[in-house]
Structure 1
Amino acid sequence: MELIIGKLIMLKCKHHKMLVASLCFFIAPVFFFSSFTHAENVTEIVTVNRSISSSQTILGSTVVPYREITVTAQTPGKITAIGGEVGTGFTKGAMLAKVDDAQLLAKRNTLWAQITSAQAALKNSQAQHQREIISPKSKSINGMPGMGLPSMMDIFMTRPLYDMMGNSDQGYNRYSDLVNSATGVSQAESQVMMAWSQLNELNTKIKDTVSVAPFEGIIMSKMVEVGDAVQPGQPLMKFGFIKYLRLQADVPSMLVSSLVKGMSVPVRISNKNSTIAKVSQIYPIADPSRHTVVVKFDLPIGVSAAPGMYAEIFLPDTTPGGNSVITIPKTALIPGRSLPTVLVADEETKTSSLRLIRVGVTQSDGLVSVVSGLKVGERVINNPPPGASSGWYPKDSAVL
């Protein structure tokens, strides 16, 4: 009996050891994987380094219209009409917006009255001048009564005697009367011209109350609505020609030398549509603060894109010095942000600051090239949490 009980105990122990071994076999990988994942996602501060780059550099760009203007108000007043909503198409010369012109129209009626009065005064001045030429005042015999006899005595005796004595000069008096009447005509003509000039100026202001499309296009955005009061120079809307589209990119100055007008480069729009764009314009100057040059690329007609979309441009990397570029771990990019952003660490103050960067191609070793925004030797936080902002600093982090 004791032998049988002993065998049962030994068998139970064997089963217990097998059960423990089995549990260890299944649990060990779980702990290993958990510890490995934790080690892989640990937050650390890494140094920005330089390494060998790929043969292409990826630049972010924006789809823009072939031509775009900002329509502004030319006269003060209230908006009485807008040609359409955002996306509405217009032909050249069509009305885009209109400002109230009632006050200007009333002033134009006043100017018309001034023109009529000035023209009447001019007509009278011309008649007086003609009368002075044909029937001079200085030879008129209607100045005194008596059947004209006293006037004739004055003309044939008194006035010649005055001229002989040097007290009068009939010729000069005649010249003075002609100049006086001619001056009246000139002044009347000036009044008419002034009134017409004021009317033309007012008509220009009335014309400026209506904003028209300078070319075929669509309304891209509106800044005002009907009833809003505007002042001269205030933006009303953005108007663009989108039949042809372009890409606009800020290219680092070290890469501009590899581009020439008419050169074709591959592009990818919104991470979906891949096509070829052609270099159409390279600005002759660079931004002194960002050290970039604006370059525009023409997209093919009919490409599936719209103004404002994000696009990537693949440029050949011809940087001298072995194609070495600045790199950081791809995991250093803050997740959840639309633009590439990193946290630059300040290990003295234990704080950080957000910085937008321009990234290039992703390397095979998990690194991503940085075209601009960081310098070699700067310190960035690797594996930051989603939504991290300036000032965030890991409490316990490894320093590499």
Structure 2
Amino acid sequence: MSAKKRVIRIGIIWGVLISILYLSLGFVSNYSAQSRAANRAVLEINALRQLMGDERLEGFEEAHKSLDRVEQFVQTFRHSSGGLTDFLIELLPLVLILLVLAVFLFFIYRKFLKPFEELEGFAENLARGNWDLPLAYRKDDYFGKFTWAFDNMRNELKQSKERELETIESNKLVISTLSHDIKTPVATIRAYAEVLGKKLHAHDDHCRQYADIIVQKADEIAKRTDDLFVHAISMMNRLDVQLEPITLAKKLREILSLYEFSGLELSYEDEPWPEGQVAVDPFRFEQVVENIMRNAEKYAPGPLDINMYQTADSISIVFRDYGPGIADRDIPFIFDKFYRGVDVRAIEGAGLGLYIVHELMHKMKGRVDLVNLPDGLKITLIFPK
């Protein structure tokens, strides 16, 4: 309840109490006056009856005086129970008292309660992130300096937030630029390492092995760079997704064929897979599948079952591994960027794989479901038709 409503409620309660008290006292006063006048009239009437029985002249004179007093008492009684004008005159002090009460309560609200009410609304706006709404400063306000201090705090917070956002945007731009620029030298290193490995003599096994390691590490750097680049442009809201209708099963077969000699133990039935089309970005879809398969290769070495099925309104791809799964305490944060489970921190990684999967699926209007199994993990990609 606002301070204004509280003041109105207090004013009404006090007004009713004062009115009841005033009217009660007035009623008692009038009743007492009328009772005294009636008692006197009764006494005079009794005295008049006695004097009427006295035949002396003095008795008649006393009787006339008693009649005059009775008439006076009657007039007093009429005056005490007068008409509307007299009633309004009697209510005038009550009206003045209520008016003074209203002015007093308005003063209390205007000078003391309203500034706190404005500060409360100001604090709520700050909590909602509205930094542009100033707090009015009034010279006649008893809390003027206090109000000025709060508004000054708002300006400082606003400037601090703007600097923070500028820094974040700058960092995103740096990450996206560097991750993009790193691709070229890494690709060059990989190409030269491949050529070097092919030109080495057959008996130079160690040198050939070193060249293969260079190629392998160059591939890892390229993948990490791609992840950072996707993360950076996603945070900048510049992640480009071009949806087009494709046959999902055909595209998935093309991607899986690249992993036949990768060391992954893939297990999937090529038929019957649903041949329906869905709207996806082919390049981003390939990134999603690659991230899931790289995670399986890193954290759950062993068989990886892949299957597809469709419903009336969607086509789903299921990846099921037989690794240790994900700890229950890590499940709520598994799609957060840079988050890595406690049990897998010894394994090299950046914590961006499932985050990128989640972001890309969202951009392609799909979703990803993750279920822990007793003997592994199941990830389902769901694409609407």
Same fold? TM cut 0.5: no
Give me the TM-score of the superposition, normalised by structure 1. 0.21
| Structure (1/2) with the larger strand percentage | 1
| Larger relative contact order (CA 8 Å, sep ≥ 6) | 1
Give me the TM-score of the superposition, normalised by structure 2. 0.22
